[in-house]
A and B are shown apart, each in its own frame.
Chain A
Amino acid sequence: MKFTTLLTSAAMALGLASGAMAEDKTKVGFVYVGPVGDGGWTYEHDKGRQAVEKEFGDKVETVFVESVPEGPDAERVMTQMALEGADLIFTTSFGYMDPTINVAKKFPDVKFEHATGYKTADNVSVYSARFYEGRAVQGHIAGKMTKSNIIGYIGSYPIPEVIRGINSAYIHAKKVNPDVEFKIVWAYTWFDPAKEADAATVLIEQGADVILQHTDSTAPQAAAQEAGNVITFGQASDMSEYAPLPRVSSIIDNWAPYYIARTKAVMDGTWTSSNTWDGIGAGMVEIGEISDAVPADVKEEALALKAALADGSYHAFTGPLKKQDGSDWLAEGETADDGTLAGMNFYVEGLEGEIPQ
């Protein structure tokens, strides 16, 4: 994929060069981990970028580079963007955390926004969405819908974000179905349709009739459709082209309001470093239409759970909960604090297997 990066950064350099004359415009850059046409994670970020353009019209100019590998290449792309006069740069993948901090040090006047990370600086904000709230709703539906009691989960990388999602889905599936078992496969990629399809197929062959995914493409949906009698959920984007079956609901990331607000802050000169972590309540996480394949009573329960998460009357990690090794974590009625959630590196009791270190 390195060569794609070469191509895209070359294209970006061209694009930036031609736009260099409009000095009064606020220039906003986006660094994407996948292609904008992935139908998932990057697709939604790009929708946010388009919303910024629509909101401010001639007053902004946006640039983006897609399929940037997490590593030294990312640093090069960000540096290039900053050199070409970007005022604000959104870096939209966990693996861009250290590159973002490094580049931000070199460009104190440029504002950076890193998605899903935890390192901040005077000119670096972090933002993320509480996807685990959405996963609680999915877990509930999954637990109710499974007939084989085996739920397959395609993980990308073993980072807190993904582990949090697995835990949240498992807790809520287990709550409605004590016999449920999770099979977890790590793909070690955010985006590789062939591998994601293979992973889904393997899980289905081993008895899973519900597939949850934390990778970005719609390939698992296609694999589930092929197999029949398997349900899936849209990840990051609605993926409604697979509704009503196999996709029965989805978690949608809605970045547009945040991107618009932060761009406005740069224009007004009111931008300050911040740490944003919003969920269903603030509208950063949306639950896609629950399809008719889900029985009405399950749908009602899921919507009630969603409402409770939204108004704050229920927290997705509420005790009593134990860790996988049997040690106590949360007492009866206690809820997890954000610090623990942000750095989550353990499974809750009942999940099998080890987290790759």
Chain B
Amino acid sequence: MDLGEINPVLLVASLMVAATPLLLAAIGELVVEKAGVLNLGVEGMMIVGAISGFAISVETGSPWLGFVAAAIGGAVLSLLFVLLTQFALANQVASGLALTLFGLGFSALMGQSYVGIKPPSMGDIHIPLISDIPVVGPILFQHDPILYVGIAITAAVWAVLKFTRLGLILRAVGENHDAAHALGYKVIKIRILAIMFGGACAGLGGAYISLIRVPQWTEGMTAGVGWIALALVVFASWKPWRVLLGAYLFGGITVLQLNLQAAGVAIPVEYLAMSPYIITILVLVILSADKSSAPASLGRTFHASH
């Protein structure tokens, strides 16, 4: 065992990469749930985003267009959920599960001709001077742009929910849709926009896996990140910065345990392998002692006639 072989700077830099897909998917789902909708289709929207982004960036040679396509792909898929739950008034849990199943199958179909292709690389941002600062530079200033987009979205979601009228309306719709409706807010319209935002974020998260983290296309490559994102939102008590913390914790411990294994640490591997799940949940459970609870209308169907 030789812990000296683990480079802490590289470790922190790679944990941020490992955490980004989870962060993007979870922050989108947070907005959806704040609007009172439970969309379990995150995994499906992610994988569709992964292949949409991959296909478009391969065809156009531009990773940026790929990410735009991924966001659109995720949002378009979420329209299926909108159709089922907001217009047909179907059960949200079942519709979300259906969305995941559909997304997994549909992405496999779309991706058939993209197996084994290398996508164009986005490259990292190297800002002169500050990215050369020892330790801080590689950790903070030498990543791909989407990683910063993830953090920016988190900050934006926090600010909008906390300080703006739009955030208040969104939360009102999530807490009590009947009251919001009585006040004249368009509950369905607001929810549709929230769901589409969630879909776009999940799509970006999926494309981050297929374009940057792995980077290649294989069926089922999101491998359950969408489900972890769903859990993360709950454990983070619907708070944006806690979602960020949870995502970095999870990504960090995932990368750390692989590092510890490679360095030959004498902790049984099984404990290392389950540690990301346990530690993330533990930390967030302790943090959630402040009695924050779920939006009151979460998962309930709204119809103006009720």
Contact A194 B209 (CB under 8 A): yes
Q: Which residue of B lies closest to A197 (CB)?
A: B214
Interface size on B, residues (CB 8 A): 46
**Which of A185, A193, A198 sits near B254, CB closer than 8 Å?**
A198
Tell me if B118 counts as interface (CB < 8 A to partner A).
yes
Closest to A218 in B: B216
- In the complex, chain B residues whose CB is within 8 Å of the CB of A357: 268
Residues in B whose Cβ lies below 8 Å from that of A195: 223, 254
CB of B218 within 8 A of CB of A3, answer: no
The contact of A37 among B97, B117, B219, B254, by CB within 8 Å, is: B219
Instruction: List B contacts of A203 (CB < 8 A).
Output: 262
Q: How far is the CA of A253 from the CA of B182 in the complex (A)?
A: 66
Q: Nearest Cβ distance between residue B171 and chain A, in whole angstroms? A: 31
| Interface hit among B2-10, B62-70, B154-162, B184-192 | B2-10
Q: Interface segment, B81-89, B103-111, B173-181, B295-303? A: B103-111
Given contacts A37-B115, A205-B7, contact A222 B101 (CB under 8 A): no
Provide the residues of chain A in CB contact with B135, threshold 8 Å.
none
CB of A95 closer than 8 Å to a CB of B? no
Q: Kindly state whether residue B249 has any CB partner on chain A within 8 Å.
A: no
Q: Which of B21, B214, B221 has the most CB of A within 10 A?
A: B214
Within 8 A of B (CB), among A1-59: 1, 3-4, 6-7, 11, 34-39
Verify if A192 is at the interface (C-beta below 8 Å from B). yes
User: In the complex the two chains form, is A183's CB within 8 Å of B216's CB?
Assistant: no
A143 at interface (Cβ–Cβ under 8 A)? no
Is A183 touching B101 in the complex (CB atoms < 8 A)? Answer: no
Minimal beta-carbon separation of A297 from chain B (angstroms): 31
**Interface membership of A269, Cβ < 8 A:** no
In the bound complex, do residue B214 and residue A202 qualify as a contact, i.e. CB atoms below 8 Å apart?
no
**CB–CB A192/B215 < 8 A:** no
Q: Check if A186 is an interface residue, CB within 8 A of chain B.
A: yes
Q: B262 touches which one: A3, A4, A183, A226 (CB < 8 A)?
A: A183
Report the bound CA distance from A316 to B273 in whole Å: 32
- State whether the Cβ of A353 lies closer than 8 Å to any Cβ in chain B: yes
How far is the CB of B57 from the nearest CB of chain A, in Å? 15
The reply to whether B108 and A35 form a contact with Cβ atoms under 8 Å apart is yes
With A194-B225, A195-B223, A206-B6 as given contacts, are A186 and B261 in contact (CB-CB < 8 Å)? Answer: yes
A interface residue count range (under 10 / 10 to 19 / 20 to 34 / 35 or more): 35 or more
Given contacts A7-B105, A37-B108, contact A194 B264 (CB under 8 A): no
Nearest Cβ on chain A to B117's Cβ, whole angstroms: 8
Give the interface SS of chain A, mostly helix, strand, loop or mixed: mixed
Within 8 A of A (CB), among B77-123: 97, 100-101, 104-105, 108, 111-112, 115-118
- Residues of the A chain whose Cβ atoms lie less than 8 Å from the Cβ of B219: 35-38, 67
Q: Residue on B with the closest CB to A240? A: B116
Q: Find chain B residues with CB under 8 A from A352 CB.
A: 264
Taken together as a complex, chains A and B put the C-alpha atoms of A226 and B17 apart, in Å, by 14
Instruction: Kindly identify which residue among A37, A198, A219, A356 contacts B269, using a CB–CB cutoff of 8 Å.
Output: A356
A188 to chain B, nearest CB (A): 5
What are the residues of chain B within 8 A of A7 when measuring CB–CB? Answer: 101, 104-105
Q: Which of A191, A194, A353 has a CB less than 8 Å from the CB of B214?
A: A194
Cα distance A36–B218 when bound, in Å? Answer: 10
Rounded to whole angstroms, the CA-CA distance of A354 and B1 in the bound complex is 11
Q: Are A185 and B218 in contact (CB under 8 A)?
A: no
Q: List 30 A-B contacts (CB under 8 A).
A: A1-B220, A1-B223, A1-B224, A4-B104, A7-B104, A37-B108, A37-B111, A37-B112, A39-B115, A39-B218, A158-B269, A183-B263, A183-B264, A185-B261, A185-B262, A186-B273, A192-B223, A193-B218, A193-B221, A197-B214, A198-B255, A205-B7, A206-B259, A217-B221, A218-B116, A219-B214, A222-B118, A222-B215, A354-B266, A357-B268
Given contacts A184-B262, A206-B263, A219-B218, 10 further A-B contacts (CB under 8 A): A7-B101, A38-B219, A183-B262, A188-B273, A193-B218, A194-B214, A198-B255, A201-B14, A217-B221, A219-B216
